[in-house]
Structure 1
Amino acid sequence: MTSLRQLEYLVTVVDEGSFTRAAELLHVTQPALSHQIRVLEKDSGGALLERLPRAVRLTPMGRAMLPHARAALADAERARCAARQASGLETGELELATLYSVSLGVLPAVLRAWRRRCEGVHIRLFEHRHTDELHAAMLAGQADLAIGPPPPDWQGPLWTLGTEEFVVIDPEAPPGATRVELVTLATRSWVHYAPGHGLADVLDQACAAAGFRPSAAVRTEQTAAAPILAAAGLGPTLVPNNILPPSFDGPVLRPDPPVTRPLAAYTRSAPDPLTSAFVETLLAEKSVV
């Protein structure tokens, strides 16, 4: 029967890319590690790893098993944490998966409120560029709770947080302007996002709805850099309104029609007490969305 220890061995070998390094990290001998991997492969019905001269790689069976192995290990760790924390929320660690833009705009106020409530509980953030990456990471067991656009057909618990509003930063906006039709910016070069960045999709889709494809003056990997580059005169950009600091003095325009994105929190299964407490804090602070 497959054990958690064998799954841990498999994940460590894959992450380290080497039986030798994995054995050192796990504090076991390499023969013992290799034996347990062979037992796991026998129980699984075939090879999970291809042994190369200087590396290892997953077989198709191994690639199919790996996300489930990670999820099983993460669930076991959460079970241990839940048992230790059954008497209260004084200590522990909560793992959150989210998008870069959400960690800039939504989470600071929530984490401040959480810190006041549970000072001894540490937060570990896993930040992703794209909604699809966030969804896949959550399915693979990366974190206790995900915060971002709700994935379609999610089977686990999900809490609706609200709607995120996007604004245009345009250094050439007329004085006193508060709104803009995106089609009027069709001939401009934009401060855009790098391919694979989730906000690149949001910007492209908003412009497509207005009837044009935006050209890029510059593309950035950093969400926080977009409004700064736009305010410096490099072109208009589209950003979540909640990432702008109070001190931001660039021209901020609301698109007409509005550009929005729903946000939610979601878990794979019923949350433990610690995760439930964070969700309560998140819902109480969702006015930041």
Structure 2
Amino acid sequence: MNVSLRQLEYFVAIMDEGSFSRAAELLHVTQPGLSHQFQALERALGVRLIERTPRRPRLTPAGRAVMPHARAALAAGARVESTAHRVVAEVEAELYVATMYSHSVGIFPDALRSWRLTHSGIRVRLFEHRRSATMTAAMVDGQADIAIGPRPDHWDGYVRSLGFERFTVVTAEDDPVAAGRHTISLVELADREWVHFTPDSGLSDILDAACARAGFTPAVSIRTEQASSALRLAAAGMGPALVPENNLPPHFTGRTAFPVPPVDREITAYSRTPPDDLGEAFVTAIANRLLAVP
């Protein structure tokens, strides 16, 4: 049995207006079209709902039994529409966002601070990933509304470039190699043991690739999963680390210097379909955070 809200709306309007013609006029449809849909409703229910009389249609016993439920269904449909409109109007909405661990530490706090100033009623749920490949797979499975992270490989949906995050070399405060320097060549650190990342971290690939371009393979002092841990370990003297600059905490006690040649990573927003107004506003907040970094 296929009964639509539109058919129930026609049924209620016929009785409220007292005629098929006035109901059609109210609903801005043709009378034959309205009659056709009403007859389809009666066929679907297997009962006659209305008896046509010379003065006005009257409900049959079945019609009287169905009418309260028809009105309740229309009211429920109106509540569904109202809820959807409230979400569009950013009331009681929740945005699902997939991202990388280092982005949730380095990019999101400042971006979310500015976001909350204009979208205080919106909840954001983060799904954090170690590798961009696992995040892309999760997005294919529908985990989140939008993903913020490195440009995905072979993505057929919506992709927007948000900018680039740059990486910095971190050492202990008493490490003489970075003393008073703004930049440093990675080859100068070829004989050092590094604070490296576990192979399932996307940051591991970035360090290996940067060192390979400098002509060496980094020796490993210790491995960690997250940039925030690498920062603390490097500051404690466990060896140099290569981390996103945006992960540096205020008043960091270690030394920092930008590698030469520079190391950076493109950050994108992507989703299966173009984001709605709410999603687009969130993406813009992230982009503004990246552009604000000197």
Could you tell me whether the CA contact under 8 Å between 2:93 and 2:121 is conserved in 1?
yes
Q: Alpha-carbon deviation of 1:277?
A: 2.3
AA of the residue aligned to 1:271: P
Say whether 1:232 aligns with 2:233: no
Partner of 2:95: 94
AA of the residue aligned to 2:197: Y
AA of the residue aligned to 1:149: P
Cα distance between partner residues in 2 of 1:153 and 1:136: 11
Could you tell me whether the CA contact under 8 Å between 2:171 and 2:234 is conserved in 1?
yes
Could you tell me whether the CA contact under 8 Å between 1:106 and 1:288 is conserved in 2?
no
- Render the CA deviation track for 1:29-77: whole Å, top value 9, x for unaligned: xxxxxxxxxxxxxxxxxxxxxxxxxxxxxxxxxxxxxxxxxxxxxxxxx
Partner of 1:216: 220
Unaligned runs of 5+ in 2: 1-79
Could you tell me whether the CA contact under 8 Å between 2:148 and 2:269 is conserved in 1?
yes
Partner of 1:144: 145
AA of the residue aligned to 1:210: A
AA of the residue aligned to 1:155: D
- Render the CA deviation track for 1:83-125: whole Å, top value 9, x for unaligned: 2535511221100000001111111111111111111110100
Partner of 1:75: none
Cα distance between partner residues in 2 of 1:182 and 1:158: 32
Q: How many residues align?
A: 211
Say whether 1:244 aligns with 2:230: no
CA 1:82/1:196 → structure 2, altered by over 3 Å: closer, same or farther? farther
Give the structure-2-normalised TM-score.
Answer: 0.68
Could you tell me whether the CA contact under 8 Å between 2:170 and 2:254 is conserved in 1?
yes
Cα distance between partner residues in 2 of 1:80 and 1:272: 17
Identity of aligned residues (%): 46
Give the structure-1-normalised TM-score.
Answer: 0.69
CA 1:195/1:86 → structure 2, altered by over 3 Å: closer, same or farther? closer
Could you tell me whether the CA contact under 8 Å between 1:81 and 1:92 is conserved in 2?
no
Secondary structure (helix, strand or coil) at the match of 1:187 reads coil
Cα distance between partner residues in 1 of 2:287 and 2:164: 13
Q: Alpha-carbon deviation of 1:139?
A: 1.1
Could you tell me whether the CA contact under 8 Å between 1:90 and 1:118 is conserved in 2?
no
Q: Alpha-carbon deviation of 1:227?
A: 1.0
CA RMSD of superposed structures (Å): 2.0
Say whether 1:182 aligns with 2:183: no
Partner of 1:207: 211
Alignment of 1:28-39 (within 5 A): none
Partner of 2:50: none
Partner of 2:41: none
Partner of 2:160: 159
Q: Which structure: larger Rg?
A: 2
AA of the residue aligned to 1:127: E
Unaligned runs of 5+ in 1: 1-78
Secondary structure (helix, strand or coil) at the match of 2:154 reads coil
Q: Alpha-carbon deviation of 1:162?
A: 0.7
Partner of 1:52: none
Q: Alpha-carbon deviation of 1:196?
A: 0.6
Q: Alpha-carbon deviation of 1:276?
A: 2.1
CA 1:251/1:88 → structure 2, altered by over 3 Å: closer, same or farther? same
- Render the CA deviation track for 1:227-267: whole Å, top value 9, x for unaligned: 11101111001000011012113110110100111111111
CA 1:223/1:82 → structure 2, altered by over 3 Å: closer, same or farther? farther
Could you tell me whether the CA contact under 8 Å between 1:146 and 1:266 is conserved in 2?
yes
Secondary structure (helix, strand or coil) at the match of 1:207 reads helix
CA 1:126/1:174 → structure 2, altered by over 3 Å: closer, same or farther? closer
CA 1:247/1:88 → structure 2, altered by over 3 Å: closer, same or farther? same
Partner of 2:47: none
Partner of 2:263: 259
